[in-house]
Structure 1
Amino acid sequence: MPLLRSETQGRLLAELFLHPDREYSLRSLAKGVGVSPPTIQRDVDRLVKAAFLHEKRVGNSRLVRAAIDHPVFQQLADIALFGYGPLAILPDILSRISGISDAFIFGSWAARYSGQAVGHVGDLDVAVIGHPPRRDLFQAAEQASRRLKIETNIQRIGPEQWEDEKDPFVASIRSSPRLQIRLFEEEAP
């Protein structure tokens, strides 16, 4: 998003503003965003100073959360949702499903995120590698569509199919931009 200073800042805003009910330690926030704790600390310091975040100390830990009482909270949440939402929301949804070994976003949303000029992005394409129950994936797609405000399609690809270099569907995904979805275990802040 050219409105923001960096991709890290966008992912940080998405993590915080799309989960306003959560408090984060700087370590867990850095892990969720995929950067080092010192990098997160600099950005968090700026956001706290501007009153976009509330902070508190518990022992040696510094906990932060989005300031939902800030006058532009909703506008920032909307920008974060548009530019970075799937990367912040999908890990929560997919990490609860057994049988997924890998997951990523592909298609027009991934192309736009990667800097390619694409027109209107009307849906979100997600691939999961493994053998998760189809019913769980259907429910996950519905939940993601509601939370992300964009139709979400989740494709299940078995590990054998994913390794098949002659499979045309797999070949088309592999030859296009795709974004890794960080699957994780829920951890206490």
Structure 2
Amino acid sequence: MLLSRYQDSYVEAGCDEAGRGCLAGPVFAAAVILPTAFRHALLNDSKQLSATHRLELRQVIETEALAFAVSSVSPQEIDRINIHKASYLAMHQALDALKLKAEYIIVDGNRFIPYRQTPYCCIVKGDGKYLSIAAASILAKTYRDEYMEQLHSEFPQYGWSQNKGYPTVEHRSAILSHGFTPHHRRTFRVTDPQLTLF
């Protein structure tokens, strides 16, 4: 895991999202500014960590980060503007909410919508390479998981406490049996094994 080469020169924020490929629930995004001296042996891409380690690291990140913010965009907005734009909107909202102004942004993935003329760099699999992106991936993932677990008590038939809204066979079958909820993304195909957009 690395610090970006720009971190010594700029106030740098790492950004990542969680829930892009889900059939239900918002997409969440986080922005994190870490101290230049920050290190943690466990910090990695959130998908490579256990739930216990993610929660442990979330507490460390929230305590030690110079600034962090988490935001979400609703299923209704996702359907209106599409999931890609909604993911970037959530990142922009998180950047807006930082208590420090980001002077440089590093983003997980290969695309980004520019934010307020702030220079940025897209990094494929950046959540496994750069500390601030990994930290953002952990915050986005843990906040979204908690949100879906809360929704599960209202709609237990969809199994959101386990699948978190992702298109598992059980989740798709539940939609076909019980229909949509207000938390489902109506523009996403339900019957395909792989998620596609209409």
TM-score by length of 2: 0.28
The structure in which a higher percent of residues are strand is 1
TM-score by length of 1: 0.29
